[in-house]
Each structure stands twice: as structure tokens, then as C-alpha cells.
Amino acid sequence: MRELTDSATALLPELVDLRRRLHRRPELGLALPETQSALEAALAELPLSLRKGAGLSSLVARLDGARPGPTILLRADMDALPVSEENDVAWRSEVAGCAHACGHDAHMAMLVGAARLLCERRDRLAGRVLFVFQPGEEAWGGARIMLEEGLLDAEFAGQVTQAFAIHQFPTLPSGSIATRAGPLMAAMDGFRITVRGRGGHASTPHETIDPVPIACEIVTALQTWVARRVPAFDPAVVTVAKISAGTAPAVIADYAVLEGLARTVSEATRSLVLDGIATVAKGIAAAHGASAEVAIGTGDLAGTPVTVNDPAVAARVLSIARQLFGAARAIELAVPIMASEDFAFMLRQVPGAMAFLGTRPSDATRGEPLHSARMMLDEAQLATGAALHAAFALTALGA
């Protein structure tokens, strides 16, 4: 294992350079042509078969081992966020209103590093490795679309036996590897509630059915409902993040719109909460003589399921981390986190796991969180991620 970490460390300057080039030119959503092209160039000299997506700028690189065997999937996400970066660094985003504030640039660099490490060790592989670069993780459904396009079908049908992904975390101690068996990250479902009342003059509210106070009552009632109906040890978070209504101060609107997200860590609570949102909204609206239309988890509100780690695979990830980096850097998480991740779609199809890689900068007592305009990461951990990806594949394929 030591020779693997040494090789990864030797690659670090190359990985940092790639990460910074990707960081300068972030792209949003499913169409990421510059990012895809940069990855193609980074992988061009390696003995890999490359395949591009049809409806999105995905890239899948296949490495065939020296002997036959199962197929292992390693995944990195590619897309950035609609965030204006505030870091004063030489490699800051050159694209207005767009930045890699979640660290997907680091994920791609780590997976390219793993591809280099594994190509050098092809003779030790009994099977194949798929390096999956996935667009559209940030609420665009990229993983689901890749599966619909046949990521696991045709030549790989029934052959992909394990999947693994890493997500960097700038609030965790640098170099730590954290994961757990079972639920790791929450399901996420978007909802939109349209409260329809009857508009009129602001001086005569009694002649109207004002949707604004009704909408406000729904917001507070949802918080009470969650606190009193959802089990404390099977949690849910319901957040109304956007409210829109009206056109002028003197006009009572005909309708108000609430938009938000529900996050849960079990399918039972997910179903309970989604039903509850509709029941509360419609009941409160009806009590005031209004109506509520509720859309949940469809169209632009489509969410992601719970990210569930296979217990055996999660245990193996922690075992590998201990061997590579020492027991102090392997952390078994006690509880899931309430953020979500569309790698969950792949884990529904293939046993596998996701792990968090701590990347807190050395000069920070508390790193800026994911999605912050000031998020920074410890680039030395690109080598850690590359080595962990590679070790996962090597141990899974019997080497």
C-alpha cells in the first residue's frame, strides 16, 4: 500500500495543475463541453477506451485488466454551481456567476489520478474499471440520466459488482476518510405550493382571501408538523426557501407560491413527509377559504433518493483507509448528514459506498462549508483521493 501512496504523491503537481485548470473554467448542469474536453486530454495517453454521453457531456473511461473478472465503477462529478467566487487566488473562476464551490474540480482530478495509478498497475487487475465522469450532480439528475442512457447496460449488464465515489469536505480534518454503513446522505425532494385566494385592495382585506398570511401559516405549521410527526431518530428537514407573491404594496395578490426542499434518511419517513406537506398545505388553505396546489418531486422538482452505503463495502473502505493512512484518519460516522447526492441512483443499482475526504485548509480552524463562495480546500489531499480510489479497485479486483 505504501508504494501506492508514494506514487500518488508523485502525481500531485500534475493533479493540482488539472484541478486549477478545471477550476478556472467551471460549467453548469448537463452540458459541460470544456470540462469534457479537458478530461479527454488528461486521459488521452492512457490505455483506456473512452465513451461520451448522448444527452449530456459525460465521459466514461474503461480500463481492461490483465485477466478477466468483474467490473468496478469509480465516479466523479463534473458540474459547478451558480456562485460568484470570492477567493483571491490565481486560479479563481474566470466565468461570471459560476464556480466550483462544491469541489467537483477536485473530484475529477482525483479520479484522473486514480486512472493513472491503475493503468500503471494493469497487470494486477483481474477485471475492469470504469472511470465515470458525471455531469449534472447539482440537482440536474445527471446520474439518473447516465443510467437511463445505459451506463450499466449492454456490455456491462450484471458485471458491475461494486461502485465507489469520494466527496471532499472542507470542514473535516484534512486527510481524514469518513463514511458509514447504511444511510450516509439524505434523500432530497423539491416541492412547490401555490396558495390560491382572491385578490383585491389592501385597504379592504375582508373582501379578499389574502394568500400571503395563509402561506406564512403554512411555513410555520410545516415546522411544527415535522417536530411532532417525524421520529426523532429518523429525522427530516423541511425548508421553505422561497416565497413569492404580489405586485404592489396596495394590492392583495390572488396567489402566493412557496418553494422548498424536504430531506429525509429513510424511505418510510420520506413518504410520510411528502404526504404531510400536501396535507398541511391543503388543510390550512381550506380553513381560510383558499385552496393549495401542491407539486412534489416531479419535473424541475425531481429529487434524489437516500444515499445508502452497502455495509460490507463501507467497512472495506474504512479498512483500506487504515492501511493506507493510519487508523487515526479513518472515521466511522455515527449518523448520516442531511445533504444529498445523486450517486444514490447508482448505489440503488450496484452495491457500493461513498466516502468523505477531509480537505480543511491547514490555515483554517474551521473550513468554509460546501457551496460557500469562499470555499477552499487542501490540494495536497488530491493525492489521498487518487490513492483511495486506486486501492479500492485493486482490492476489489483481487490484487
Cα–Cα dist 107/137, whole Å = 12
pLDDT at 157: 63
Contacts of 143 (CB under 8 A, 6+ apart): 75, 134, 136, 137, 342, 343, 344, 345, 346
| Overall CATH class of domain 2-186+306-396 | alpha beta
Helix axes 267-287, 211-229, angle to 10 degrees: 140
Are residues 342 and 188 in contact, defined by beta-carbon separation less than 8 angstroms? no
C-alpha cell at 365: 480552524
Angle at CA of residue 357, ends 355 and 362, nearest 5°: 165
155 pLDDT more than 80? no
User: What cell was used for 330?
Assistant: 479513518
In degrees to the nearest 10, what's the CA dihedral of 136, 137, 139, 144?
80
pLDDT digits (tens, 9 = 90+) for 216-247: 999 999 999 999 999 999 999 999 999 999 99
Distance of CA 55 to the CA centre of its chain: 20
Contacts of 134 by beta carbon, 8 Å cutoff, 6+ apart: 58, 75, 76, 77, 78, 142, 143, 146
158 has pLDDT over 80: no
pLDDT of 262? 96
Indicate the pTM of the whole model: 0.92
User: Strand ranges (DSSP E) for the chain?
Assistant: 49-52, 59-64, 67-77, 126-134, 160-169, 177-179, 182-185, 187-196, 200-201, 236-245, 251-252, 255-264, 291-296, 307-309, 330-332, 352-358
pLDDT at 399 over 60: no
For residue 48, what is the enclosing H or E element? none
**Annotation: CATH topology of 187-301:** Alpha-Beta Plaits (3.30.70)
Report pLDDT digits (tens) over 246-288: 999 999 999 999 999 999 999 999 999 999 999 999 999 999 9
Per cent of the chain over pLDDT 90 is: 91
Where does the pLDDT of residue 298 fall: very low under 50, low under 70, confident under 90, or very high at 90 and above?
confident
pLDDT at 208 over 80: yes
Domain range list for the chain: 2-186+306-396, 187-301
Catalytic residue ranges? 79, 137
Q: pLDDT tens for residues 12-71? A: 999 999 999 999 999 999 999 999 999 999 999 999 999 999 989 999 999 999 999 999
* Rounded-to-10 torsion of CA 118, 120, 121, 125: 60
Decide: 59 and 44 in contact? Cβ < 8 Å: no
- C-alpha Rg value of the chain to the nearest Å: 23
Select the more confidently predicted residue: 300 or 5.
5
Q: Is residue 92 a contact partner of residue 149, using CB atoms and an 8 Å limit?
A: no
pLDDT in tens, 370-385: 999 999 999 999 999 9
